[in-house]
């Protein structure tokens, strides 16, 4: 940001007020706020450090809430938590008191659950930005709501407004705020990725012809360029953030077009991608506008949930839903360092050098993010039934959810 000297005199008091306004604008949300899927760095890493990975006895469950069916995870801002569920043919966007689980407001609209080989309901996670909440249904209903009250600010529809083509299992990839843009994987024949004005919902640019998939858009500076990464149905596509112009693409085909794990940008020139059904994973390098495959193997086949990276090692769930094991790979060559078969399926995040894993069967597993072996610190059953949603950690509160709609808030002080 640059400043130009004012033409007229400005009093010291006004200068001081301007300075304070800029300072407070820069800290409008807590560093610990979990504003969108995979957290603000988009890598599944929580900045939290003041939490206890090894509580005495079983972790304390502060509260539970019934949300209705869905695989939406939780986003947070301050002491408010946001998520989605479906009850009685109605999608519901929830704003909850993060301390108690009590509802502050809810926004409802008619929607079937579409239980195609799983429980159904909303697949995406609400996105927070300032005073706005952006929520997406599996049919493509995109709502911009007032974060304080739940009042509708604007509404668009992926298919009707932008010519989107709904994936077989419905829209699942949450949109992403990048500056003044709201990035959406619409999957239209002439509008595959759409950048909307986040204040109005009006399109700023449209790009590509690819059919969409189930992963979330990612923004990263790669090869010196502000880049939007979207894992489409048959390729990883990189576009310029400013205008949507395609920069490069890398073919990536998975059975049933289930590219669901979000791409993981690493540093300034590498991207990790993975998918299930035996496809495997690859590490790409982007330099001079060219993509080089550094390595590819089947040591990590992330079906739905995205792995994370810590100190030059990749940690993730290898295998399709209904199974899968926790694994560690070396980032340099993709070789497997260890596999833990007692952790079946689920999702994970990293915080303070620890992995927080929530298994498909509802077990909380906290372990060291260490390449030599699996070092468990805490193991505790939290929920029953199938669990696919990623954990969320903020202010020592861990939010865990199952597909039937039961949400648990666990204290890790």
pLDDT digits (tens, 9 = 90+) for 277-300: 999 999 999 999 999 999 999 999
Per-residue tokens: 219: 């923004």
| Segment holding 340, helix H or strand E | strand 336-344
The low-confidence residues of the chain, meaning pLDDT below 70, are 1-31
Per-residue tokens: 194: 């759409």
The answer to pTM > 0.85 is yes
| Three-class DSSP category at 141 | strand
Q: What pLDDT was estimated at residue 40?
A: 82
Distance CA 403, CA 94 (A): 16
Tally of CA atoms within 13 A in the half-sphere of 229 that contains its CB: 25
32: how many CB neighbours lie within 10 A of its CB? Answer: 20
Place of tokens 């950690």: 393
Distance CA 66, CA 180 (A): 34
Contact 102, 79 (CB under 8 A): no
Contact 186, 201 (CB under 8 A): no
Kindly tell me the sign of the dihedral angle through the C-alpha atoms of 170, 175, 298, 250.
positive
Q: What pLDDT was estimated at residue 233?
A: 98
Q: What are phi and psi of 321, to 5 degrees?
A: -60, 150
Whole-angstrom CA distances from 212 to 170, 230, 264, 406 are: 10, 9, 18, 29
Per-residue tokens: 221: 């500076």
Kindly tell me the sign of the dihedral angle through the C-alpha atoms of 185, 389, 128, 107.
positive
Alpha helices for 181-282 (secondary structure H): none
Q: What pLDDT was estimated at residue 82?
A: 98
| Three-class DSSP category at 90 | strand
Contact 74, 82 (CB under 8 A): yes
Q: What pLDDT was estimated at residue 28?
A: 37
């Amino acid at each position: 940001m640059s400043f130009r000297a004012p033409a007229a005199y400005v009093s010291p008091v006004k200068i001081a007020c301007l300075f304070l306004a800029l300072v407070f604008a820069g800290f409008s949300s807590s560093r610990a706020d979990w504003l969108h899927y995979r957290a603000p760095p988009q890598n599944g890493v929580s900045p939290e450090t003041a939490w206890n990975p090894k509580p005495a006895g079983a972790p304390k469950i502060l509260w539970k809430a019934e949300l209705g069916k869905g695989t939406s995870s939780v986003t947070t801002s301050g002491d408010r938590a946001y998520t989605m569920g479906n009850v009685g043919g109605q999608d519901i966007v929830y704003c909850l008191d993060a301390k108690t689980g009590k509802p502050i407001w809810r926004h409802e609209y008619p929607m079937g659950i579409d239980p195609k080989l799983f429980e159904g309901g909303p697949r995406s996670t609400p996105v927070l930005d300032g005073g706005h909440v952006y929520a997406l249904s599996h049919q493509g209903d995109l709502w911009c709501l007032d974060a304080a009250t739940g009042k509708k600010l604007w509404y668009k529809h992926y298919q009707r407004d932008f010519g989107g083509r709904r994936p077989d299992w419905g829209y699942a990839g949450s949109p992403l705020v990048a500056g003044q843009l709201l990035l959406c994987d619409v999957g239209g024949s002439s509008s595959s990725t759409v950048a909307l004005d986040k204040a109005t919902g009006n399109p700023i640019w449209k790009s590509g012809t690819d059919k969409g998939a189930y992963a979330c858009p990612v923004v990263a500076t790669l090869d010196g360029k502000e880049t939007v990464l979207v894992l489409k149905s048959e390729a990883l596509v990189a576009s310029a953030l400013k205008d949507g112009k395609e920069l490069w693409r890398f073919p990536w085909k998975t059975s049933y077009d289930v590219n669901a794990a979000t791409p993981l940008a690493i540093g300034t020139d590498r991207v990790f991608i993975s998918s299930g059904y035996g496809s495997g994973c690859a590490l790409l390098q982007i330099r001079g506008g060219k993509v080089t495959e550094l390595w590819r193997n089947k040591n990590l086949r992330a079906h739905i949930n995205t792995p994370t990276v810590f100190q030059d090692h990749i940690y993730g769930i290898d295998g399709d839903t209904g199974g899968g094991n926790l694994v560690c790979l070396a980032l340099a060559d993709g070789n497997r360092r260890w596999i833990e078969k007692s952790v079946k399926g689920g999702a994970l995040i990293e915080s303070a050098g620890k992995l927080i894993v929530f298994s498909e069967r509802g077990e909380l597993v906290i372990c060291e993010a260490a390449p030599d072996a699996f070092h468990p610190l805490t193991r505790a059953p939290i929920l029953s039934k199938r669990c696919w949603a990623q954990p969320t950690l903020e202010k020592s509160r861990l939010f865990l959810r199952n597909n039937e709609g039961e949400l648990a808030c666990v204290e890790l002080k």
